[in-house]
Amino acid sequence: MKNLNIKINKDKRGYFLKVYDSEFLKNLKFNIDQVCISLTKKVGTIRGLHFQNSPNFERKIVICLSGKIFDVAVNLKKTKNKRLFYKSKILDSKKKNAVLIEKGFAHGFQTLEPNSTILYLIEGKFINKKQGGILWNDEKIKIKWPLKNFFLSKRDKSFKKLQ
């Protein structure tokens, strides 16, 4: 997970946020294949941990447009002493901060405010047969979710723990 500095211009009317900048994305070597928006209504909802299996890994730029989330990226790469570590970041619509999730990472988040809206800029094609997930509370990862009251989809509850 890499923090990104997104330029935002604010004044008394509100703000102006440039979501797409070809030069910025060119410097990241990032090509947009998908643009997605997710709205999560309830505080404490956990979405994830999701990923696309090889060779269909995705890279994602994640920005919180409204609300606030605890964002998590879990390293799935099999490199010495690095597998299964996770990084987290609070993404806050007031700060308009963003992160880059690299290939080989599972991604998820927990909502900290109601009606949190997330924008995803995704490099890579979504292929239904290649999607995967890890159970949110896997003891091998030990994510410290900030809220103890949580809600999960049936699909996210069905993910298996890592072997």
Active-site residue list: 50, 120
Which helix H or strand E contains 100, and what residues bound it?
A: strand 98-101
* Alpha carbons 27 and 94: distance in angstroms, whole number: 26
Residues forming a β-bridge with 37: 119
Structure tokens at 124: 């890579």
- Please give the full DSSP string across 28-67, using - where no structure is assigned: HT---SEEEEEEE-STTBEEEEEEE-TT---EEEEEEEES
| Nearest Cα to Cα of residue 46 among 56, 38, 34 | 38
* Residues forming beta bridges with residue 17, ordered by sequence position: 8
